[in-house]
């Protein structure tokens, strides 16, 4: 690992703009922005994927590997990524910093507390929650309805026992009411942190956060509770982007990590802006497959921030295509060209969808050891038929060197500037049901959205409060284009059941809840935490 001061210097960042966290991590000071804001922006490349499968697609891995490869090919490139959440690291998923020769380092630190951003989000969120209950305890001047408080508490831990709880029991402990915990990355504060432009904008947005309703049904915001300045104080460091490096010394801005279902699943706008000033190319990613991640990246993040992506890289694997072709998880290791051909429809639809945003697409075939040449050739042939460039990527095994073919294709794609063709999929002025149905028809290819009674009540509130200009943030299973996790491939003709619509007024979107979205994961029978080992020097083993 190189000192982060060296990595920064090479990226053109003077040491005075660094706020070091040890020798290998740094926050970037707002003074840096003063220095670089007038520079031209680099080109923004989104890494997205087919629908996720149990085999893993390697989106983060490809993002890191591609950034390394571009640098190796002489293109000054910065990666812009999300911060891992502690809960999943200790639960099912393990670390979230790539793998093999394409990793962020120091990976243990990044996977655990990093620079404390998620802890700061947790604190700000829970301060607001404590102030809500405290307000009701001390006279309830705002006449908050305890049955209609929508602001829960958060913790960065997988803890299913906290999903649904009763608080305020016992003498002198406040109002007894039902509530619960979400994982911290599901906090609207995290979404706000990732969409804001600066500390002032963060404050402004947090002021708009809906905490619940009063006894007359009037919406009540965080601003009315007097909580916003203190929440801003808690986030004053978290709003600064973090600089780390990849195993090959490529600079990576790792900042923010909102949930990809009830939030938009992209790294921070602030971090992206810094990266665009520092790199000729910025490689970033968005959560889940392109039906969710890329859609929200374009329709929410790019729209709000006025960002224009120059290309999208769609990560596919032979295994994920076979799985989408109907093969069981256990059989993915053996060659099966028929299943692979059956699953190509999933890739094809994602390619078509990305085209609807006016963004050129490059397919990255993330190569696994067991993939046969014939299988890989099937994918390449399909891309040729679709007239979409493609390349095999071996960045896990080979690092940047294994991504040179991919980088070469990307350079060709970026040479033709098509930025003016980019457009989000729906207009701001369209109403919320219209926006939802646009996504259902254009991206998911279902017939229409069907609204539950609860969702209809929410639509009435949106109507009454004049909130149709909000974006929609789809909370849907990532495994299928539809709301049914087992409907793989490229389904059509289904309806999308909307169970509820909640308001994230600080983030600026309405969350459209389909199916059973869990916002507090549980631990598996054998949590990843049980496999960790730490020696006397603090060296961790078992986190990746």
Question: Element (H or E) spanning 122, and its range?
Answer: helix 117-137
Please give the span between the terminal C-alpha atoms of the chain, in angstroms, as a whole number. Answer: 17
Among 92, 335, 527, 544, binds a second copy (CB under 8 A): 527
Is 193 a residue that touches a second copy (CB under 8 A)?
A: no
Cβ of residue 522: shortest distance to a second copy, in angstroms? Answer: 7
Is 544 a residue that touches a second copy (CB under 8 A)?
A: no
Is 14 a residue that touches a second copy (CB under 8 A)?
A: no
Spell 121-145 as b/e; 16+ CB within 10 A means b: bbbbbbbbbebbbebbeeeeebebb
**Binding-site residue total for a second copy (CB under 8 A)?**
79
Is 53 flagged in the annotation as binding? Answer: yes
Is 178 a residue that touches a second copy (CB under 8 A)?
A: yes
Find the part of the chain contacting a second copy (CB under 8 A) among 207-215, 231-239, 271-279, 333-341.
Answer: 231-239
Residues from 37 through 96 that contact a second copy (CB under 8 A): 86, 90
Nearer to a second copy, 417 or 537 (CB): 537
Is 305 a residue that touches a second copy (CB under 8 A)?
A: no
Query: How far lies 474's CA from each of 9, 19, 337, 486, in Å?
Result: 40, 36, 33, 18
Is 229 a residue that touches a second copy (CB under 8 A)?
A: yes
Whether residue 207 has a cis bond before it, omega within 30° of 0: no
Helices (H), 392-518: 395-398, 404-415, 432-439, 453-465
Is 226 a residue that touches a second copy (CB under 8 A)?
A: yes
The strand pairing partners of 510, in sequence order, are 472, 503
Q: Are 194 and 207 in contact (CB under 8 A)?
A: no
Helices (H), 404-469: 404-415, 432-439, 453-465
What string marks each residue from 465 to 504 as x (binds a second copy by CB under 8 A) or -? Answer: ----------------------------------------
Among 13, 48, 78, 133, binds a second copy (CB under 8 A): 133
Is 251 flagged in the annotation as binding? Answer: no
Cβ of residue 281: shortest distance to a second copy, in angstroms? Answer: 30
DSSP of 341-391, one letter per residue? HHHHHHHHHHHHHHHTTT--EEEEEE--TT--HHHHHHHHHHHHHTT--EE
- Give CA torsion, residues 474, 480, 481, 484, to 10 deg: -80
What string marks each residue from 239 to 268 as x (binds a second copy by CB under 8 A) or -? Answer: x-----------------------------
Nearer to a second copy, 23 or 39 (CB): 23
Nearer to a second copy, 515 or 527 (CB): 527
Is 236 a residue that touches a second copy (CB under 8 A)?
A: yes
Nearer to a second copy, 244 or 292 (CB): 244
Find the part of the chain contacting a second copy (CB under 8 A) among 95-103, 151-159, 463-471, 472-480.
Answer: 151-159
Instruction: Classify residue 469 by its DSSP letter.
Output: T
Cβ of residue 519: shortest distance to a second copy, in angstroms? Answer: 13
Q: Are 436 and 295 in contact (CB under 8 A)?
A: no
Is 60 flagged in the annotation as binding? Answer: yes
Distance CA 444, CA 438 (A): 9
Distance CA 60, CA 257 (A): 13
Among 167, 372, 447, 452, binds a second copy (CB under 8 A): 167
Among 39, 137, 329, 419, binds a second copy (CB under 8 A): 137
Nearer to a second copy, 121 or 459 (CB): 121
The strand pairing partners of 149, in sequence order, are 212
Return the number of other C-beta atoms located less than 10 Å from residue 214's C-beta: 15
Among 170, 416, 466, 493, binds a second copy (CB under 8 A): 170
Is 534 a residue that touches a second copy (CB under 8 A)?
A: yes
Is 58 flagged in the annotation as binding? Answer: yes
Nearer to a second copy, 237 or 280 (CB): 237
Find the part of the chain contacting a second copy (CB under 8 A) among 92-100, 137-145, 243-251, 481-489.
Answer: 137-145
Is 155 a residue that touches a second copy (CB under 8 A)?
A: yes
Question: Element (H or E) spanning 275, and its range?
Answer: helix 269-278
**Packed helices 59-72 and 404-415: angle between N→C axes, nearest 10 degrees:** 80
Nearer to a second copy, 133 or 188 (CB): 133
Among 43, 70, 99, 108, binds a second copy (CB under 8 A): 108
Q: What does DSSP say about strands 495-504 and 448-451: parallel, antiparallel, or unpaired?
A: parallel
Among 120, 292, 503, 511, binds a second copy (CB under 8 A): 120
For the annotated binding site for ATP, the residues are 53-60
């Amino acid at each position: 690992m190189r000192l982060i001061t060296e990595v920064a210097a090479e990226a053109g960042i003077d040491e005075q703009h660094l706020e070091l966290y040890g020798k290998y991590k740094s926050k970037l000071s707002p003074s840096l922005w003063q220095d670089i804001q007038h520079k031209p922006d680099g080109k923004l490349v989104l890494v997205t994927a087919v629908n996720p499968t149990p085999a893993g697609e390697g989106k983060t891995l490809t993002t890191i590997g591609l950034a390394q490869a571009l640098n190796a090919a002489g293109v000054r490139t910065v990666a812009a990524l999300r911060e891992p959440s502690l809960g999943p690291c200790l639960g099912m998923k393990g670390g979230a910093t790539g793998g093999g020769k394409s990793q962020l380092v120091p990976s243990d630190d990044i996977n655990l507390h990093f620079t404390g951003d998620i802890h700061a989000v947790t604190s700000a969120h829970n301060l607001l929650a404590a102030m809500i209950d405290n307000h009701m305890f001390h006279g309830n001047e705002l006449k908050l309805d305890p049955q209609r408080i929508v602001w829960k508490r958060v913790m960065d831990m997988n803890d299913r026992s906290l999903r649904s709880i009763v608080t305020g029991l016992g003498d002198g402990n406040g109002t007894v009411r039902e509530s619960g915990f979400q994982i911290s990355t599901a906090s609207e504060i995290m979404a706000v942190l990732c969409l804001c432009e600066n500390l002032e904008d963060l404050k402004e947005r947090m002021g708009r956060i809906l905490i619940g309703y009063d006894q007359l049904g009037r919406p009540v915001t965080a601003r009315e509770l007097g909580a916003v300045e203190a929440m801003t104080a808690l986030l004053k460091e978290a709003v600064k982007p973090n600089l780390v490096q990849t195993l090959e010394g490529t600079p990576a801005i790792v900042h923010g990590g909102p949930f990809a279902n009830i939030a938009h699943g992209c790294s921070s706008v602030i971090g992206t802006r810094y990266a665009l000033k520092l790199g000729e190319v910025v490689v970033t990613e968005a959560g889940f497959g392109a039906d969710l991640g890329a859609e929200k990246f374009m329709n929410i993040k790019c729209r709000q921030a006025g960002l224009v992506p120059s290309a999208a890289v769609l990560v596919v694997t032979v295994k994920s295509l076979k799985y989408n072709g109907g093969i069981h998880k256990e059989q993915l290791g053996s060659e099966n060209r028929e299943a692979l051909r059956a699953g190509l429809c999933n890739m094809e639809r994602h390619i078509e969808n990305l085209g609807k945003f006016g963004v050129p697409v490059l397919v990255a075939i993330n190569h696994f050891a067991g993939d046969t040449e014939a299988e890989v050739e099937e994918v390449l042939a399909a891309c040729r038929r679709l007239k979409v460039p493609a390349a095999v990527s071996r960045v896990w095994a080979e690092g940047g060197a294994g991504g040179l073919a991919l980088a070469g294709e990307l350079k060709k794609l970026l040479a033709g500037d098509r930025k003016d063709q980019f457009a989000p999929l729906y207009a701001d002025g369209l109403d919320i049901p219209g926006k939802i149905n646009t996504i259902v028809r254009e991206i998911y290819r279902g017939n229409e959205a069907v609204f539950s009674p609860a969702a209809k009540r929410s639509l009435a509130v949106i109507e009454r409060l004049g909130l149709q200009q909000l974006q929609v943030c789809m909370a849907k299973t990532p495994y299928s284009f539809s709301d049914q996790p087992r409907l793989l491939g490229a389904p059509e003709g289904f309806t999308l059941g909307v169970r509820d619509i909640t308001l994230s007024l600080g983030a600026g979107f309405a969350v459209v809840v389909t199916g059973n979205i869990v916002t507090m994961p549980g631990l598996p029978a054998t949590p990843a935490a049980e496999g960790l080992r730490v020696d006397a020097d603090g060296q961790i083993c078992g986190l990746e």
